[in-house]
Amino acid sequence: MKKALLAILFALPLYAEDGAAILARVDAARNPINSFAVDVSLTAVSPKSTESSKFRVYGKGSDRSVVEFVAPATEKGKYLLMLRDAMWIYMPSASRPIRISPLQRLMGQASNGDVARTNFSTDYHPTAVESESGEWVLDLAAKDPSIAYARVRLWVDKKSSEVTRADFYVVSGKLIKRAHYAEHGQRVEIEDLLKPGNRTVMQYANLAPHDNPDKMYTKDALGKW
């Protein structure tokens, strides 16, 4: 009995640490480079139409990113800055960065946060870990109520630590989005579960190290560098 209790006592923190360790490996697999640039194309498909847009994301560390709008022409010249959960958008017509909320959408089912966020550990902590046929299933809770999704369930390949699927829940507990990851995380398909038939495909390409100076990640330098 004593041995069983000791085993449980030791196992509990180990189990909690496992979730954090798995999440750390997930983020390391998603962000192999500390300072990088990557091209992202978004295709939003609805029963009525298909729209495409292109972005270039400049990331640094776990919680800083700048998104440059490349296409379509109507969006050119816009920039989005994300510092952890704080976001600003710069539009050439407004000539100044405007504070926005993470829930505001870039296009289709992808919110600003979906494109700009490169890391899960910064915003979420694991609350439970399950094992499911070759995959870990992590239950993540937002560290801060200001995070766009209150809860995320993450399916992670045990061998590669790559995410294969993610379910996003809002504060009310409602599941609103499901993302499927393929091609080693280079392709993400986001389903809008509130509007069946609507989905957005995010395709990453040309990930490479890029020297991003710290001032890039300041509100005042947005659109000026």
Which is closer to another protein, CB of 147 or CB of 156?
147
Q: Residue 207 forms beta bridges with which residues?
A: none
Based on the shown chain and the rule CB under 8 A, indicate whether residue 213 belongs to the binding site for another protein: yes
Q: Is residue 48 close enough to count as binding another protein by CB under 8 A?
A: yes
**Nearest partner of 23 among 145, 133, 166, judged by Cα:** 166
Smallest distance from another protein to CB 113, Å: 9
**For residues 133-152, which are near another protein according to CB under 8 A?**
145-148
Task: Name the segment binding another protein (CB under 8 A); options: 8-16, 56-64, 83-91, 157-165.
Answer: 83-91
Per-residue three-class SS string for the chain: CHHHHHHHHHHHHHHHHHHHHHHHHHHHHHCCCCEEEEEEEEEEECCCCEEEEEEEEEEECCCEEEEEEEECHHHCCCEEEEECCEEEEEECCCCEEEEECCCCEEECCEEHHHHHCCCCCCCEEEEEEEEECCEEEEEEEECCCCCCCCEEEEEEECCCCCEEEEEEECCCCCEEEEEEEECCCCEEEEEECCCCCCEEEEEEEEEEECCCCHHHHCHHHCCCC
Please tell me whether residue 50 binds another protein under the rule CB under 8 A: no
> Does position 87 bind another protein by CB under 8 A?
yes
Distance in Å, CB of 13 to another protein, minimum: 31
Phi and psi, residue 27, nearest 5°: -65, -35
Say whether residue 102 binds another protein (CB under 8 A). yes
First to last CA, the chain: 65
Q: Which of 8, 96, 127, 197 binds another protein (CB under 8 A)?
A: 96
Q: Please, which residue, 1 or 73, has the CB nearer to another protein?
A: 73
Report, in Å, the least distance between residue 105 CB and another protein.
Answer: 5
The yes or no reply on residue 101 touching another protein (CB under 8 A) is yes
Closer to another protein by CB, 51 or 132: give it: 51
Q: Pick the piece of the chain touching another protein (CB under 8 A) from 29-37, 42-50, 58-66, 152-160.
A: 42-50
With contacts defined by CB under 8 A, how many residues of the chain interact with another protein?
41
Q: Binding residues for another protein, per CB under 8 A?
A: 46, 48-49, 51-52, 71-74, 76-77, 83, 86-87, 91-96, 99-105, 145-148, 194, 213-215, 218-221, 224-225
